[in-house]
Chain A
Amino acid sequence: MPLYSQIIQYVLSGITIGSVYAIIALGFNIIYNSTSIINFAQGEFVMLGGLTMIFFTVMLKFPLVIGFPLTVLVLTLIGIIMERFAISPIKKPTVVTLIIVTIAVSILFKGIAMLVWGKDTHFLPPFSGEKGIAFMGASLNPQYIWVVGITVVVVVLLSVFFKYTIIGKAMTACAVNRTAASLMGINVKRMVLLSFALSAAIGGIAGIIITPITLMSYDNGAILGLKGFGAAVLGGLGNFYGAIFAGLLLGVMESLGAGLVHSGYKDAIALLVLLLVLFIKPSGIFGVTEASGFKKF
Chain B
Amino acid sequence: MDKKDSLTLLILTVCLVIFPFIVTNTYYISTMVFVGINGIIAIGLSLLMGYAGQISIGHAAFFGLGAYTSAVLTAKLGFHPWGAFFLGILLSSCIALIIGIPSLKLKGHYLAMATLGFGEITYIVFNELTDITGGPSGIGDIPKISLAGYTMNTDIKYYFFVWAFLLLILTFSLNLIHSRIGRALRSIHDSEVAANAMGINTGKLKIQVFMISAVFGSVAGSLYTHYVTFVSPSSFGLFFSILLVMMVVIGGMHSVWGALIGAALLTILPEFLRALKDFEIFVYGSVLLLIMIFLPRGLIGGLEYLFNRLIKKV
- Answer yes or no: are A and B bound together in one complex: yes
The chain A residues found within 8 Å of chain B, CB to CB, are 38, 86, 89-97, 99-101, 103-112, 114-115, 222, 226, 229-230, 233, 237, 262, 264-265, 267-268, 271-272, 274-275, 278-279, 282-284, 292-293, 295-297
**Out of A110, A265, A295, which one reaches B109, CB within 8 Å?**
A295
Ranked nearest first, the 8 interchain pairs of A and B with the lowest CB-CB distance are: A111-B282, A108-B285, A107-B285, A104-B288, A111-B281, A279-B102, A104-B289, A233-B113
Interface residues of B in 247-289 (CB under 8 A from A): 249-250, 253, 278-286, 288-289
- Given A96-B49, A115-B279, A268-B121, A275 contacting B246 (CB threshold 8 A): no
**CB-based contact B296/A92 at 8 Å:** yes
Residue of A nearest to B102 (CB): A279
Complex contacts, B293 vs chain A, CB 8 Å = 86, 89-90, 101
- List 9 interface pairs A-B (beta carbons < 8 Å), by A numbering: A104-B288, A108-B285, A115-B279, A265-B124, A268-B121, A268-B124, A282-B105, A295-B109, A297-B111
- Given A90-B292, A114-B281, A274 contacting B55 (CB threshold 8 A): no
Residue of A nearest to B49 (CB): A96
How many angstroms from the CA of A265 to the CA of B126 in the assembled complex? 11
| Nearest-Cβ distance from residue B220 to partner chain A, whole angstroms | 21
Complex contacts, B238 vs chain A, CB 8 Å = 222, 226
**Apart from A100-B288, A109-B285, A230-B113, what are 13 other A-B pairs with CB-CB below 8 Å?**
A90-B293, A99-B112, A99-B249, A103-B242, A103-B288, A105-B289, A107-B284, A111-B283, A222-B238, A230-B117, A271-B121, A282-B106, A296-B108
B128 within 8 A of A: yes
How many angstroms from the CA of A262 to the CA of B128 in the assembled complex? 10
B178 within 8 A of A: no
- Given A86-B289, A97-B292, A282 contacting B107 (CB threshold 8 A): yes
**CB-based contact B117/A271 at 8 Å:** yes
B182 within 8 A of A: no
How many angstroms from the CA of A207 to the CA of B242 in the assembled complex? 24
B53 within 8 A of A: yes
B305 within 8 A of A: no
B120 within 8 A of A: yes
**CB-based contact B107/A112 at 8 Å:** no
How many angstroms from the CA of A264 to the CA of B136 in the assembled complex? 12
B61 within 8 A of A: no
**CB-based contact B120/A297 at 8 Å:** no
| Nearest-Cβ distance from residue A243 to partner chain B, whole angstroms | 13
**CB-based contact B124/A264 at 8 Å:** yes
Residue of A nearest to B191 (CB): A296
B118 within 8 A of A: yes
What bracket does the count of chain B residues touching chain A fall in?
Answer: 35 or more
Complex contacts, B111 vs chain A, CB 8 Å = 297
How many angstroms from the CA of A146 to the CA of B241 in the assembled complex? 36
B67 within 8 A of A: no
| Nearest-Cβ distance from residue A214 to partner chain B, whole angstroms | 18
B146 within 8 A of A: no
How many angstroms from the CA of A90 to the CA of B294 in the assembled complex? 8
**CB-based contact B284/A111 at 8 Å:** yes
| Nearest-Cβ distance from residue A118 to partner chain B, whole angstroms | 10
Interface residues of B in 11-44 (CB under 8 A from A): none
Contact code string B96-115 (vs A, CB < 8 Å = 1, else 0): 00000011011111111110
Residue of A nearest to B124 (CB): A268
**CB-based contact B53/A297 at 8 Å:** yes
Complex contacts, A282 vs chain B, CB 8 Å = 105-107, 110
B116 within 8 A of A: yes
**CB-based contact A110/B114 at 8 Å:** no
Complex contacts, A275 vs chain B, CB 8 Å = 102, 114, 117-118, 121
**CB-based contact B127/A293 at 8 Å:** no
**CB-based contact B107/A297 at 8 Å:** yes
- Given A97-B296, A100-B246, A108-B282, A297 contacting B113 (CB threshold 8 A): no
Complex contacts, A104 vs chain B, CB 8 Å = 285-286, 288-289, 292
Residue of A nearest to B293 (CB): A89
- Given A92-B296, A264-B124, A264-B128, A229 contacting B281 (CB threshold 8 A): no
